[in-house]
């Protein structure tokens, strides 16, 4: 453990002589920092999308899972009797916490987005809706359907299963897309850093030859490039992550009626997840630069 800590501290501290091999400024340095910052910024949003998608879908799924709807299709002269029969069935059904028929104003509000505000409910054969709220134990949906079929033939139970399942599938796919986006961002960062390191090694070919003449090993030279580009990626990713978190923080709050857009963000301890992006970017830069330096130095022997 102490040996690893010592190696890490030596890597961070660096070697003043070896650092002279890598140009401290120039387009490769700016390219590395800018690419790391941009990719980290995008990674924050990809991570926020992945987490928010699951969070909003869970909230909607829980709301749908605890509520059901009974739709009553019956002639006007039988509607009240059917409603009373259904309410009596629900009152004696275990697992139901509350049940109430929706009023005309509530049904009009549900239909308004599709048919407009002036829908004449009293002139249209619109079914009566009963909202059912289950308790923590839930109720037997198949058993309730059987009772409704026998005692209230015009009543149909909708336990919202067909709405929950597509929502869960969509949430899983969006979460997977967010993870894929993060992986692609990491791969693109590795490509950009590889190109920048290759360009820096090519630009310093004469310096590398001189170092070899005075006895410097390729491992010594490669270490200088790996350290410099790893720290550049770490610094750029830190800036990009902070900017991304600030942008997420300034977005509208989700509130209780959160959607995929207003709910895009982090909740509670989830704000710690973006802090992993800079070290991961440094790890990607470390691997990419190390492989590039070893390959280029072998080719230039």
Q: Using CA atoms, how far apart are residues 265 and 48, in angstroms rounded to an integer?
A: 5
pLDDT digits (tens, 9 = 90+) for 64-90: 667 788 888 878 788 888 888 889 888
For the chain, the average pLDDT equals 79
Quote the pLDDT of residue 272.
Answer: 92
pLDDT digits (tens, 9 = 90+) for 211-225: 778 777 888 778 888
Per-residue pLDDT, averaged over 38-62, amounts to 81
Quote the pLDDT of residue 79.
Answer: 83
Instruction: Give pTM, 2 decimals.
Output: 0.68
Q: Using CA atoms, how far apart are residues 237 and 240, in angstroms rounded to an integer?
A: 5
112-116, 162-166, 193-197: which is most confident: 193-197
Quote the pLDDT of residue 16.
Answer: 54
Q: What percent of the chain has pLDDT over 90?
A: 13
């Amino acid at each position: 453990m102490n040996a690893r800590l010592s190696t890490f501290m030596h890597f961070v501290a660096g070697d003043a002589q070896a650092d002279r091999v890598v140009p401290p400024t120039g387009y490769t340095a700016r390219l590395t920092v800018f690419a790391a910052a941009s990719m980290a910024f995008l990674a924050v949003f990809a991570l926020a999308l992945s987490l928010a998608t699951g969070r909003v879908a869970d909230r909607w799924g829980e709301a749908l899972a605890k509520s059901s709807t009974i739709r009553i299709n019956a002639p006007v002269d039988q509607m009240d009797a059917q409603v009373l029969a259904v309410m009596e069935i629900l009152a004696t059904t275990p697992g139901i916490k509350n049940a109430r028929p929706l009023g005309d104003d509530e049904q009009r509000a549900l239909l308004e987005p599709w048919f407009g505000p002036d829908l004449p409910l009293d002139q249209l054969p619109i079914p009566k809706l009963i909202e059912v709220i289950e308790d923590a134990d839930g109720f037997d949906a198949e058993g309730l359907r059987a009772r409704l079929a026998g005692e209230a033939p015009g009543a149909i139970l909708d336990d919202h299963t067909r709405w929950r399942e597509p929502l869960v599938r969509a949430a899983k796919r969006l979460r997977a897309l967010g993870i894929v986006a993060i992986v692609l961002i990491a791969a693109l960062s590795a490509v950009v850093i590889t190109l920048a390191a290759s360009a820096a090694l090519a630009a310093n070919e004469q310096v590398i030859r001189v170092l070899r003449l005075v006895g410097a090993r390729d491992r010594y030279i490669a270490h200088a490039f790996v350290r410099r580009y790893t720290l550049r990626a770490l610094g750029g990713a830190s800036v990009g992550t902070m900017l991304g978190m600030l942008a997420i923080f300034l977005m509208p709050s989700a509130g209780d009626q959160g959607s995929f857009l207003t709910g895009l963000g982090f909740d509670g301890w989830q704000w710690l997840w973006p802090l992993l992006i800079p070290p991961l970017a440094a790890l990607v830069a470390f691997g990419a630069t190390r492989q590039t330096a070893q390959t280029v130095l072998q080719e230039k022997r």
